Amino acid sequence: MQKLRNAGHTPKTKVRALVDKFGKNADGSQVRRVSAKVLPVVVAGGAIALVGQPLVTGGGSEPEPTTAQVRAVEHEAPLPAPAAAPAAEAPAQAPLPAPQAPAAPPAPAPVQAPAPQEPPKPVSKSLDLEYQAQQTSYWCGPTATRIALSSRTADLPDQAALAADLGTTENGTDTIHQVVDGLNEKLGDKGGYIARDWSDKQLTPELTDQLWSDIVRNIDQDKAMVANIVAAPGNQPPGYPSNQTIYHYVTIAGYDAANKTVHIADPARFSGIEDYWLSLDQLASLIKPKGYTA
């Protein structure tokens, strides 16, 4: 057997003694097999330690321990522990974004006050007029004009003065143009009347619609109108003599949109009736041969 080159290895005599000590049974007989385990022997600090190499196997000659089986480490410093593998560096993490303040909620839209609404137009409207009955049988034109003037002014001439201004004679007031001239002269800037002459026109729905539009507009402006009518038997206002055709002037004083009727102030006061309501269609048929102020 070769000698161990490293100083401090355990000599064979010490190994044998170790075998003799641990290789006997309780009765002192030789153990045929100590262990199937490897029992390498290491001397550390002068002590012998079993490391795991078989020492005895079978009978007969005993094999010499090899340098791989026995290692003397007496007086040697303990082997340094293997250095721990360097811990893997944690991957660099991107810095977390700074928390952002929650976005401010949108400012509420300013509450807008509802737009002022125009007051609803009256369904029915009649003007407060100063009524007079005509003083002669042919002063219906001047009297109807005077009643209409009372819607715009309190400075009212008498019937005779108006008859002179309008050019009225015992044959009456010839055309609606004379009445328009008289109204505008007396009212000045408060006038603005125009003549709607139907004497040369056919009565159509368009003319009737225009009449209604003129009535509503003027009455809404507190402005009474004058109409020149021809009332033949069978087509007459209340109280008229049914056996005569009446050529006459009346005052338009109001309207009722729900019923499409027109309020009339009548200076003749036939049968004691001073005012009444006519349908729009009947009034248009009465005006047709003549005209009205608008």
Examine residue 93 and state whether it is found in any structural domain, yes or no. Answer: no
Count up the domains in the chain and report the number: 2
Mean pLDDT of 221-241: 98
Residue 260 forms part of a structural domain: yes
Rounded to whole angstroms, the Cα distance separating 254 from 218 reads 9
**Alpha carbon 91 to its chain's center:** 53
> Both 178 and 38 in a single domain?
no
Both 135 and 230 in a single domain?
Answer: yes
pLDDT at 35 over 80: no
Looking at the fold, whether 47 and 155 belong to one and the same domain comes out as: no
Predicted local confidence at residue 39, as pLDDT:
42
Judgement on whether residues 44 and 162 belong to the same structural domain of the protein: no
87 within some domain: no
pLDDT confidence bin for 256, thresholds 50/70/90: very high
Which pLDDT does position 67 carry in this prediction? Answer: 42
Res. 1 pLDDT band, cuts 50 70 90? very low
pLDDT on residue 106: 73
**What secondary structure letter does DSSP report for 192?**
-
- Whether 177 is in a domain gets the answer yes
Give the single-character DSSP code of 31: P
Residue 42 maps to a domain: yes
Radius of gyration of the chain (CA): 68
Task: Confirm whether 4 is domain-assigned.
Answer: no
Q: Which two tokens stand for residue 216?
A: 């509503």
Highest mean pLDDT among 81-90, 109-118, 211-220: 211-220
Burial class, 131, CB count within 10 angstroms (exposed 0-12 / middle 13-18 / buried 19+): middle
**DSSP of 95-130:** PPPPPPPPPPPPPPPPPPPPPPPPPPPPSEEE----
Local structure of 176: helix, strand or coil:
helix
Query: Residues 35, 148: one domain?
Result: no
Tokens of 59: 């009978």
Residues 127-161 have pLDDT tens digits of: 999 999 999 999 999 999 999 999 999 999 999 99
- Lowest model confidence (mean pLDDT) among 30-34, 86-90, 120-124, 194-198: 30-34
Reported as a pLDDT band with limits 50, 70 and 90, residue 27 is low
CA distances from 207 to 68, 198, 214, 283, 288 (A): 137, 9, 11, 12, 9
Among 33, 55, 72, which residue terminates a domain? 72
Report the pLDDT value the prediction gives residue 115, as an integer from 0 to 100: 74
Give the pLDDT score at 292. Answer: 98
Question: Taking the model in full, what pTM does it have?
Answer: 0.61
Least reliable range by pLDDT among 12-26, 116-130, 219-233, 248-262: 12-26
| Calpha distance 97→80 (Å, rounded) | 46
Continuous segment of H or E residues that includes residue 190: none
- What's the rounded Cα separation, in Å, for the pair 288 and 227? 10
Per-residue confidence (pLDDT) for residue 170, from 0 to 100: 96
Amino acid code (one letter) for 109 = A
In which domain, by residue range, is 205 found?
124-293
The Cα–Cα gap between 237 and 48 comes to 151
* pLDDT band of 29, cuts 50, 70, 90: low
- Asked if the model's pLDDT at residue 180 lies above 60, the reply is yes
Per-residue pLDDT at 12 = 53
Cα(204)–Cα(207) distance, rounded to whole angstroms? 5
Please state, in angstroms and rounded to a whole number, the distance separating the CA atoms of residues 64 and 24.
19
Answer yes or no: is 82 within a domain. no
- From residue 199, how far is each of 136, 193, 241 by CA, in Å? 26, 18, 24
User: Residue written as tokens 């269609």?
Assistant: 281
CA distance to 134, 217, 236, 240, 256, per residue, from 124 (Å): 27, 13, 23, 26, 4
Residue 250 has pLDDT above 90, yes or no: yes
